[in-house]
Chains A and B, each alone.
Chain A
């Protein structure tokens, strides 16, 4: 392992231990597991959960729902951005909708969507809705911000449209696209699990969370929350790893 990596691991471990100590001390100070459980109790609960099929089914289906909504948001958001950056009329039509989606609280959408959509698919829709404007506006401003000088260069040297797209336009837009796609993933998880908490579909982390809250099982609430955070981080790492080979830092 490189020395810089060893330093990183030591730093990360030290910071984690510091916050674990803060948690432990807070739990000891409060002295009520209902309010703040000890880290050990949460870990034990997580271990117990991990030994049940119900937990893994919830992980799998929540991940499927949220990833589906996220993927739809990325694909439709990107396509929409290309359209609105190219045609002013589409920009005029879609801009108010995107502003509206950003401004309306996610809880309002969840409650509204409950009327229209089966609870099993609600998380898909809500994750999609939260990801859509993030990707759309970032890609759109990336396209609009493209330096025309490079496009003129391509024109003068007679580069084909495909070459201009893949060798000039996309590499210029890619860094901001990757940054927004990564941050949108966090939003997808937060909003998707929030939707599951409210509509409680079978086989979902949101339902596990809500049930734990109903039965005042605080360690379980902490354990499921930690699972959601870990899954979100894991997928974020995967996205970063996959996109790193397409990205470049020479901008």
Chain B
């Protein structure tokens, strides 16, 4: 579904990705692992098309639709939680169902700034799951969530994925396991 071939990326003098290759198949669940600054988030940005590789190629089968939970929540501050979700094309009923499943239905009409960090995170997860997507990108998705809420959210994400691909970045092996993702250490080579 997504083929990454020999991509490299540097920030000035600092090379964060070097000749990285890997295949992400339909329905696969993978987790990029590695120490801070090794290029995990950069790799996600490359896959999402927010950056262009300085060398190598990323090929996608057709026009794949993406969805994401970014490292920051990126909820629009002037829209309510519900409006943030319906903005991406989800219908209101589906959005409320997601919020209910994540335990924040009561926050639907609140603005993000009126919510705790954990509630904002769950709102960002709800938005990502309400999108129509072929692959879901999660960058440290459970930041700010306590153990019970993180497990519940992981379960809900896992059930929602069905046959769609998951690309995860996390520092926690437990989180990767909760989502059933195969861990790939991007500092090791080769990755095929």
Contact = CB atoms under 8 A, between A and B. Distances in A.
B65 A158 contact: yes
Interface string B79-114: 100000001110000000000000000000001010
Prevailing SS type, chain A contact patch:
helix
Nearest to A248: B78
Contacts of B68: 153, 156-157
Contacts of A158: 65-66, 88, 131
A250 B66 contact: no
A97 B87 CA distance: 40
Interface string A137-162: 00000000000011011011111000
Given A157-B131, A158-B66, A250-B113, A152 B50 contact: yes
A157 B72 contact: no
Given A153-B70, A158-B65, A250 B111 contact: yes
A159 B67 CA distance: 11
B25 interface: no
A163 B65 contact: no
Contacts of A159: 87-88
Contacts of B70: 149, 152-153
Interface string A145-188: 00001101101111100010001100110000000000000000
- A: contact size bracket: 10 to 19
Nearest to B112: A250
Q: Which of B49, B74, B113 has the most CB of A within 10 A?
A: B74
A157 B129 CA distance: 11
A174 to B, nearest CB: 9
A84 B109 CA distance: 37
B77 interface: yes
A251 B49 CA distance: 28
Given A156-B67, A157-B89, A158-B66, 4 more contacts: A152-B74, A156-B137, A157-B67, A167-B79
7 contacts: A152-B48, A156-B67, A158-B88, A167-B76, A248-B78, A250-B78, A251-B78
